[in-house]
Amino acid sequence: MVTTATADNALKSYYLGVVSDQLNFAVNPLLARIRQTTSDVWGKDVRKLVRVGVNGGVGAGTEDGELPSAGGNRYAQFVATLKNLYGTIEISDKAIRASANNEGAFVSLLNDEMDGLVKSSAFHFGRMLFGDGSGTLGTVSSASGSTYTMDSVNAIAEGMIVDVYNTSGTAAAKGRVVTSVDRASKKVVLSGEAISSAATMKFVLQNSYNMELTGLGAIFSSTGTLYGLSRSENPWLTPYMQTSVGDITEAKVQKAIDALEENAGSKVNFIVCSWGVRRALAEALSKYRQTESLELEGGFRAISFNGIPVVADRFCPAKTMYLLNTDDFRLHQLCDWQWLEGDDGSILRQKAGKPVFTATLVKYAELLCSRPCGQAMLSGITEA
């Protein structure tokens, strides 16, 4: 007999482990390369001490002269608030009762719900890795009624619930459903009435404004602050960035790799770019030799640039390539994925005033890069 109690037990004992593995290692190849840890988590914050520069207590001298003065290491402290990451499934009371005497049907129901949750979560967590933490999905360039032309629709899909913010950071509309996406013309249709003065506004994932992971979009900047520190006072917080690259060549990529090793002692071990940039790089490399293929953790495949995997990601900005040392990145978390539980330990709970039950996965985490100056970005690349 299938009940909410047996469903709770299935979610705890079987689905949690499977879903956690999928979300941690199968979202995309970049996340699979980033180590996850509970270290440096203090209450609601991540507080990480990072070493800056080199130890000053080294020098040369005479046989009987003064020894070098102890210089000690220089440190800086990163402080970032853990982000609250949620994923919710919803099952109607009718569906539970209809499958009460058929365990196979109920398992199929749960499998379908969990599969949808994993795909949706993978979409958004993969997107967050390249975002700036604001939750922005795209910027409106023009509007006609409830149809909005965007600068990009890569991060937008039918069924998503979005909030619309103006340039001052004030919400102009909340809880709108994306009903249609025309990817060729970059047009999105939202539910509800037309939003006045929508041009130049931005779409943000529901209730997520300035609450997402600190992704590459925030790390690769030369202004403002990062992890509570001013970039103008700490130049080492600014990565290596080259704009208007044009045609990609092996020499241009190698120059960025060499600059990181020469100036920061950083060894690039992972390259991620847009699809068009990967095609352009593969074409450039094929002129001199056969392009090699690599298999990565999580079942992903990549082309090789002198032994370094190169992967394409749909959320990587167009005409852009990131050259990373993933050893410098950590996903700091309070705990791994867990179900939100009620006071009685139940996972499935009735939604107030509605004949449906919901269950919510949660993870409190933040992405930190301990050595931003050891990372590089090439942009303005001519795509193939």
Token output for 23: 């979300």
User: Which whole number is the average pLDDT over 26-46?
Assistant: 90
Q: What is residue 58's predicted lDDT score, i.e. its pLDDT?
A: 67
**Whether pTM exceeds 0.85:** yes
Q: What is residue 136's predicted lDDT score, i.e. its pLDDT?
A: 94
Nearest 5 degrees, angle CA 205-CA 127-CA 19? 95
The closest alpha carbon to 332, from 121, 36, 68, belongs to 36
CATH number of 290's domain: 3.30.2320.10
CATH number of 80's domain: 3.30.2400
Residue 173 above 90 pLDDT?
yes
Q: Are residues 279 and 312 in the same domain?
A: yes
Q: What is residue 383's predicted lDDT score, i.e. its pLDDT?
A: 96
Q: What is residue 235's predicted lDDT score, i.e. its pLDDT?
A: 92
Classify residue 69: in a domain, yes or no.
Answer: no
Classify residue 185: in a domain, yes or no.
Answer: yes
Q: Which residue has the tokens 């032994």?
A: 307
Classify residue 219: in a domain, yes or no.
Answer: no
Domain enclosing residue 374, as ranges: 235-329+370-378
The closest alpha carbon to 33, from 302, 381, 365, belongs to 302
Residue 55 above 60 pLDDT?
no
118: Cα within 13 Å, side-chain hemisphere: 20
Tens digit of each residue's pLDDT (9 = 90 or more) over 101-141:
777 777 788 888 888 888 888 888 889 999 999 999 999 99
Classify residue 251: in a domain, yes or no.
Answer: yes
Residue 57 above 90 pLDDT?
no
Tens digit of each residue's pLDDT (9 = 90 or more) over 322-360:
999 999 999 999 999 999 988 888 888 888 888 988 889
Q: What is residue 52's predicted lDDT score, i.e. its pLDDT?
A: 83
User: Of all residues in the chain, what percent carry a pLDDT higher than 70?
Assistant: 96
Q: 264-286: b or e for each residue (b if 16 or more CB lie within 10 Å)? A: bebebebbbbbebbbebbbebbe
Tens digit of each residue's pLDDT (9 = 90 or more) over 226-238:
999 999 999 999 9
More confident residue, 104 or 367: 367
Residue 66 above 90 pLDDT?
no
DSSP three-state, residue 84 = strand
Q: Are residues 8 and 120 in the same domain?
A: yes
- Which of 185, 205, 225 is a domain's end point? 205
Classify residue 229: in a domain, yes or no.
Answer: no
Classify residue 29: in a domain, yes or no.
Answer: yes
Answer whether 315's CB lies under 8 Å from 129's CB: yes
Q: Are residues 255 and 191 in the same domain?
A: no
Q: Are residues 171 and 148 in the same domain?
A: yes
Top-ranked range on mean pLDDT: pick from 16-20, 311-315, 379-383 = 379-383
Classify residue 67: in a domain, yes or no.
Answer: no
Q: Are residues 320 and 337 in the same domain?
A: no
For residue 6, what are the β-bridge partners? none
Q: Are residues 248 and 374 in the same domain?
A: yes
Q: What is the mean pLDDT of the chain?
A: 89
Q: Which residues contact 335 (CB under 8 A, 6 or more apart)?
A: 38, 363, 364
Tens digit of each residue's pLDDT (9 = 90 or more) over 144-167:
999 999 999 999 999 999 999 998
User: Of all residues in the chain, what percent carry a pLDDT higher than 90?
Assistant: 60
Distance between CA atoms of residues 2 and 109, nearest Å: 12
Q: Which residues contact 199 (CB under 8 A, 6 or more apart)?
A: 140, 141, 142, 143
Q: Are residues 43 and 112 in the same domain?
A: yes
Q: What is residue 278's predicted lDDT score, i.e. its pLDDT?
A: 96
Classify residue 63: in a domain, yes or no.
Answer: no
Tens digit of each residue's pLDDT (9 = 90 or more) over 68-85:
666 667 889 999 999 999
Give, rounded to a whole angstrom, the gap between the first and last alpha carbons of the chain.
57
Q: What is residue 40's predicted lDDT score, i.e. its pLDDT?
A: 95
Q: Are residues 250 and 374 in the same domain?
A: yes
Number of domains the chain is built from: 3
Q: Are residues 122 and 35 in the same domain?
A: yes
Tens digit of each residue's pLDDT (9 = 90 or more) over 183-218:
999 999 999 999 888 778 999 999 999 999 999 999
Q: Are residues 374 and 257 in the same domain?
A: yes
Q: What is residue 27's predicted lDDT score, i.e. its pLDDT?
A: 73
CA-based radius of gyration for the chain? 24
Q: Are residues 47 and 149 in the same domain?
A: no
Q: What is residue 56's predicted lDDT score, i.e. its pLDDT?
A: 58
Q: Are residues 173 and 193 in the same domain?
A: yes
